Structure 1
Amino acid sequence: MLYKLWRSFIKEILLLKRDIGGIVIIFVMPLLLIVTITLIQDSTFKNLEGSKIPIIFIDNDKSEVSKNIKKELENSKTFQLLTNFNEKSAQNAVFSGEYQMAIVIPENLTKDLNSNIEAKVEKIVSSFGLETDSAAAPKAASKAKDIHLYFDPATNAGFKNSVMNSVNKMVFEIENKKIYKAFQDQLGTTENLEENKNLISFKEITPKKGDAEILPNSVQHNVPAWTLFAIFFIVVPLSINLVKEKSQGTSVRVRVSPTPYFIHILGKTFTYLIICIIQFLLMVAVGIYLFPYMDLPAFDVSGKMFQLLTVTLFAGLAAIGFGVLLGTIADTQEQSAPFGATSVVVLAAVGGIWVPVFLMPEFMQHIAKFSPMNWGLNAYYDIILRNSGIGNIAKELALLFLFYLAMVTISIFYERKKNAV
């Protein structure tokens, strides 16, 4: 039995040697993908940190509130303010895509805000039966003012929400200070405003390794993601080789030989598992040794290599099972190659390789749970980002192995039924 398995393994190696170009593509394509995409993502983050986004700022108020907003925007080190526009020209410039956004401060914003606050404070103080410093009749509240925000239609929704939340926070803090100041004036207190800081603030608690914080980076996400993509892309050459065996008569000789068909499948499994391991090791080598020379964070696998190799083996089994099923069912290379490539891309998209699952619509999040790529990706993330052990990823490993068994079992039954005499 072992000798037959060995001979089946040798047969697969000989088949692969006939298509050296295809094997090179299997190894080189993922490496190009991981380097290109990681560079793009890392460059994007660095650009956001190191350079300023030009935005149009129109100040029609030219008073305290607008000056405070302008100062906060300038101090954020994110925006470069352009002021030589009117509202109409700003709208045209933004909607045409020349600039990402424009902020227009309305006239009399400070004056009307002060009037509104004073009117409300006087009303509140008088409702408690307290005498105010002002003997005049209560002031009427002015109509609420709108700060106009114009966004390029192509602007990302996350960027819009971030800017709007920042502006809201600035305005809220300005209003709070003014309300507190108005109460001081009405009640005649002299407490220092600077002593009244926020009573509640946010503090992010991150995992630590020694004294250093562990901060996720683009490398930690891209290496496992594109390793999985590379592993599943072996579906294409595997299914093509199975179809070739049918067209060249190899499958007939396998069926009439005394070797069981499952030995033939096991030979393919061992052969392509070796390819998966090599792919993984190449990806890790790029992350460890090449990325630091490209001004990217190094991929840290210290103490995690065994766990990562285990996930790779089980992910490889799942990919091989899918490739075996596709090659068994397909009759021509024209069927197996396009369908294999397309299905891998779909599984990658659904599994969270390109877009994080939590950003997907709710029904797509449920569908993602059935993608073997999602199981593998979660297992990789648990090890790399959450420092989990084998026991914590047992569920994902079991799902990947069961997927392999299901695909191979269906393939064997299909092969038997199709060739039954």
Structure 2
Amino acid sequence: MRKIWNICSWEIQRIFKKPQSYLIMFAMPLLFTMLFGTLLGDGEKNKPAIVLVDEDDTILSKSLFEELHKDNSLFKLEKGTNQQALHELEEKKIVGVIHIQKGFETEMAEGEVPKINFQHIPEFTSNQAITGLLSNKLSKLNIETTAAFAWSEQTGEAWQVMYEKLKLNSILENTELKKVITDEGNVSEQSGLSGSAAGFSIMFLMITMMSVTGTILEARNNGVWYRLISTPASRFEIAAGYLLSFFLIGWIQFGILIVATTLFFDVKWGNPFSLMIFVSVMLFAIVGLGLMIAGLAKTVEQQSAAGSLIVVSTSMIAGVYWPLEIEPVFMQKMANFLPQTWAMKGLKDIAGNGVLPFESIAILLVFALVFLFIGMRKIKFE
């Protein structure tokens, strides 16, 4: 055990001797949390304003406005005339205009998904998020409309009758779900800063793990690995020492980020006991991913480049940078196969109700075992 601890403590000291480690581990996550948390908005006053111009003024165009207006954490939406909207856009009082043209309902009735124009100021950088949300809402509206018209053809009654029933049923289901959540005290609504704190803490933790697990390649290339093997320490003790160091470095980073975001941004992380268990499982999966990439890479440079690319791209898909629900459906399905998605889901569950999210834990354990199995098989001890 002493040999394991010696290897572990040596690796921890080596990491924290580098000034850049503090930048990646602590400064960057807090900066990104502040920037993106503020961008996503903590309250109605911080949301960018968008005006919707409805020239069709039909049942379906009004339904689209209602869908965009309710449960929207991205922007404030108001109705207005085309002239008023363009004037406010030119004066930069609003960031964009959503334009529903005449014939919207007719196109929907014919089974087409009409295009919605979204005009925005050049400074507005979240236009892709808005267009993604519009696409999702249009798809939902198209499904309900298709069902209503199919029912109308079979019964001979007006399609509007079934459409209103489908719409009412959707509202009742959402109301019932919210009632159950409220009654059980499991309200897990997160502010923009809280969601960003969890997401960016996970992302930069993964970036750190990509860096520290790469030390295995570095140690092998500069001869440290061979000197360790020549000592009385067994291969198991060497591997255990490195794994323990990675785990402790991860906990030091995430623990400090929890404390810092709580003090600076008033983020609520939930029950400490549940959080401790979940973060340990999450670290297990992230360390496994780092070892797998280190095992597959041939050089430190390859490992660093591949690791950073994988972490940043998958974090985007998993909803670290923006709410997952605004992404296209195919990306939401892809997110289910990423550890960040389940890590964020588990942290949100703990913040909301304080109990252990067993589903997220089980899935992260599967990720961890698969990653570690591949990584340990690929890392060469010779």
**Aligned match of 1:172:** none
Match of 1:300 among 260, 268, 287: 268
Shift of residue 287 of structure 1? 3.1
Distance 1:41 1:396, change over 3 A: same
1:224 equivalenced with 2:198 (yes/no): yes
Secondary structure of the 1:8 match is helix
Check the 8 A contact 1:94/1:150 in 2, yes or no. Answer: no
Q: Structure 2 vs 1, CA of residues 45 and 271 (structure 1 numbering), >3 Å: closer, same or farther?
A: farther
Aligned residue type for 2:373 = T
Give the structure 2 partner of residue 375 of structure 1. Answer: 342
Q: Secondary structure at the match of 2:298?
A: coil
- Residue type at the aligned position of 2:379: E
Provide the rounded CA distance (Å) in 2 between the counterparts of 1:227 and 1:256: 38
Match for residue 40 of structure 2? Answer: 41
Q: Distance in 2 between matches of 1:372 and 1:163?
A: 27
Based on CA coordinates, which of the two structures has the bigger radius of gyration? 1
- Give distance in 1, aligned partners of 2:293 and 2:77: 50
Offset at residue 316 of structure 1 (A): 1.2
> Quick one: distance in 2 between partners of 1:225 and 1:347?
12
How far did 1:231 drift?
Answer: 1.8
Distance 1:350 1:150 in 2: 25
Deviation of 1:399 after TM superposition, in Å, equals 3.0
| Corresponding residue for residue 250 of structure 1 | 224
Provide the C-alpha distance between the structure 2 equivalents of 1:6 and 1:225, rounded to a whole number of angstroms.
Answer: 31
- Equivalent position SS for 1:152: strand
2:208 counterpart residue number: 234
Matches of 2:49 and 2:23, distance apart in 1: 42
Distance 1:226 1:283 in 2: 10
1:318 aligned residue: 285
Measured after TM superposition, the shift of residue 307 of structure 1 is 1.1
Q: Say if 2:42 and 2:193, in contact at 8 Å, map to a contact too.
A: no
Is the Cα contact below 8 Å between 1:276 and 1:316 reproduced in 2? yes
Matches within 5 A, 1:259-278: 259-278=233-252
Residues 243 and 44 of structure 1: CA distance in aligned 2, closer, same or farther (over 3 Å): farther
Q: Is the CA contact 2:339–2:364 (under 8 Å) kept in the aligned structure 1? A: yes
Partner SS state of residue 101, structure 1: strand
CA 78–274 in structure 1, closer or farther in 2 if over 3 Å, else same: same
Is residue 29 of structure 1 aligned with residue 28 of structure 2? yes
8 Å CA contact retained: 1:234, 1:323: no
What amino acid maps onto 1:35 in structure 2? M
Aligned mates of 1:163, 1:235 — CA distance in 2: 38
The answer for the alignment partner of 2:316 in structure 1 is 349
Distance 2:363 2:280 in 1: 13
Q: Does 1:366 align with 2:360?
A: no
Give structure 1 stretches of 5+ with no counterpart: 59-76, 107-148, 165-197, 292-297
Aligned-partner residue type, residue 272 of structure 1: F
Q: Which residue of 1 aligns with 2:300?
A: 333
Task: Supply the AA of the counterpart residue of 2:240.
Answer: L
Distance change in 2, residues 1:301/1:10 (3 Å): closer
Shift of 1:247: 2.0
Partner amino acid for 2:208? I
Identity between Structure 1 and Structure 2 (%):
19
Contact 1:55 1:80 in 2 (8 A): yes
* Structure 1 residues 381-392: aligned runs within 5 Å: 381-385=348-352, 387=353, 389-390=355-356
Q: Which structure exhibits the higher relative contact order, with contacts defined as CA atoms closer than 8 Å and separated by 6 or more residues?
A: 2
1:412 is aligned to 2:376:
yes
Q: 1:342: Cα distance to partner? A: 0.6
Q: What's the TM-score once normalised by structure 1's chain length?
A: 0.60
The change in CA–CA distance for 1:30 and 1:244 in structure 2 (over 3 A counts) is: same
Unmatched segments (≥5 aa) in structure 2: 56-75, 103-115, 122-126, 139-167
Q: Structure 1: how far apart are the matches of 2:285 and 2:311?
A: 12
- 1:348 and 1:159 map into 2 onto residues whose CA distance is 19
Paired residues of 2:30 and 2:261 also in contact (CA < 8 A): no
Match of 1:398 among 341, 344, 362: 362
Distance 2:39 2:378 in 1: 44
Matched-pair contact (CA < 8 Å) for 1:55–1:81: yes
Deviation at 1:30, TM superposition (A): 1.0
Name the Cα RMSD after superposition.
4.3
Deviation digits for residues 65-121 of structure 1, max 9, x if unmatched? xxxxxxxxxxxx9659689x59xxx889979x9973388999xxxxxxxxxxxxxxx
Q: Give the number of equivalent residue pairs.
A: 307
8 Å Cα contact 1:240-1:337 kept in structure 2: yes
Instruction: Tell me, in whole angstroms, the C-alpha distance in 2 between the residues paired with 1:411 and 1:211.
Output: 42
Query: Secondary structure of 2:41's partner?
Result: helix
Counterpart of 1:389, as a letter, is V
Please state how far the C-alpha of 1:410 moved relative to its aligned partner. 2.6
- Structure 2 vs 1, CA of residues 265 and 247 (structure 1 numbering), >3 Å: closer, same or farther? same
Aligned-pair CA distance for 1:383: 1.6
Following the alignment from structure 2 to structure 1, what is the Cα–Cα distance between the partners of residues 252 and 308?
A: 20
Q: Contact conserved, 1:277 with 1:309, CA < 8 A, in 2?
A: no
